[in-house]
């Protein structure tokens, strides 16, 4: 499966809240970040978690966020960033 | 505002707590108790690609499904073995009856537990 996003691209994390095992942390859902690495295809952990094969494999991306945009009450430095690995099914064009 | 908080409580699962207040993080090194090493070994044997009995993703799902009470009260490896147990029950590797009888036997043989093994 070829990766839909490239390094440097801005991506938005889906603001989705499905039940079950979810591998995208709550605090980045609905937020916008930038791809810093394409880590390759991995079997879908949200399927593997239920004993299924997890195919097709999904591209996994390393996405960087401005930390102050993740939390309204963030009191750290303005230039702080937060990096999260996110599977392609959770990302969309902004 | 309370409506917003209620919505979040419904949407956000208990374990997914990034950014929420959670108290200080213990930073001292500690040894693993023998039973914790055994739990680790059991998981590795079951998840070995040759056997493929469970995946680490199933382990994590089982830990999340323990629910807030058990999740908070159990230690790290207690959560692991509880999840492994539930996964093996789901898959029919062991049965509830078999497990219950064996636990009762061991409880009789070791009424005071297995010595000074402790939580981390």
ipTM of the complex: 0.88
Does this model's pTM top 0.80? My answer is: yes
In 3D space, the residue among A60, A35, A56, A37 whose CA is nearest the CA of residue A47 turns out to be A56
Contact state of B18 with A26 under an 8 Å Cβ cutoff: yes
Contact state of B16 with A50 under an 8 Å Cβ cutoff: no
- Compute φ and ψ for A21, nearest 5 degrees: -80, 115
d(CA A1, CA A56): 8
Band (B1; pLDDT cuts 50, 70, 90): very low
For residue A86, what is the DSSP state?
A: E
Give CA angle at A42 (A67, B37), nearest 5°: 85
Give the Cβ contact number of residue A69 at 10 Å.
Answer: 14
Contact state of A22 with B61 under an 8 Å Cβ cutoff: no
Q: Tell me, yes or no, if A27 comes closer than 8 A to chain B by beta carbon.
A: yes
CA torsion A34-A37-A39-A41 (nearest 10°) is 50
pLDDT reported for residue B2: 43
pLDDT reported for residue B117: 52
Chain A CB contacts of B61 below 8 Å:
20-21, 49-50
pLDDT reported for residue B5: 56
B118 pLDDT more than 60: no
pLDDT digits (tens, 9 = 90+) for B40-74: 999 999 999 999 999 999 999 999 999 889 998 99
pLDDT reported for residue B97: 98
In this prediction, residues B24-34 reach a mean pLDDT of 91
CB contacts < 8 A (A, B): 38
pLDDT reported for residue A7: 98
Tokens of B97: 């009856």
DSSP per residue over B21-90, as a string?
---PPP----PPPHHHHHHHHHHHHHHSTTT-S--HHHHHHHHHTT-HHHHHHS-HHHHHHHHHHHHHHH
The residue count for chain B: 120
Q: Tell me, yes or no, if B38 comes closer than 8 A to chain A by beta carbon.
A: no
Q: Is B19 left (phi over 0), alpha (psi -120 to 50) or beta?
A: left
d(CA B105, CA B111): 10
The one-digit pLDDT tens for each residue of chain A (94 residues) are: 689 999 999 999 999 999 999 999 999 999 999 999 999 999 999 999 999 999 999 999 999 999 999 998 899 999 999 999 999 999 999 9
């Amino acid at each position: 499966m070829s990766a839909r996003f490239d390094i440097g691209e801005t991506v938005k994390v889906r603001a989705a809240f499905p039940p079950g095992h979810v591998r995208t942390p709550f605090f980045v859902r609905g937020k916008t970040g930038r791809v810093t690495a394409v880590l390759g295809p991995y079997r879908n952990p949200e399927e593997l978690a239920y004993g299924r094969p997890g195919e097709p494999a999904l591209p996994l991306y390393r996405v960087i966020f401005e930390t102050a945009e993740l939390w309204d009450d963030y009191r750290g430095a303005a230039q702080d960033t937060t990096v999260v690995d996110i599977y392609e099914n959770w990302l969309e064009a902004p | 505002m309370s409506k917003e908080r209620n919505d979040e409580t419904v949407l956000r699962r208990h374990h997914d707590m990034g950014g929420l207040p959670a108290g200080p993080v213990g930073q001292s090194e500690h040894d693993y108790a023998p039973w914790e090493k055994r739990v680790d070994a059991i998981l590795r044997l079951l998840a070995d690609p040759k056997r493929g009995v469970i995946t680490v993703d199933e382990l994590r799902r089982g830990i999340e499904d323990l629910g807030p009470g058990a999740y908070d009260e159990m230690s790290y490896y207690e959560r692991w073995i509880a999840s492994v147990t539930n996964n093996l029950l789901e898959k029919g590797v062991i049965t509830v009856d078999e497990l219950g009888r064996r636990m009762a036997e061991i409880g009789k043989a070791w009424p005071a537990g297995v010595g000074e093994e402790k939580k981390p």
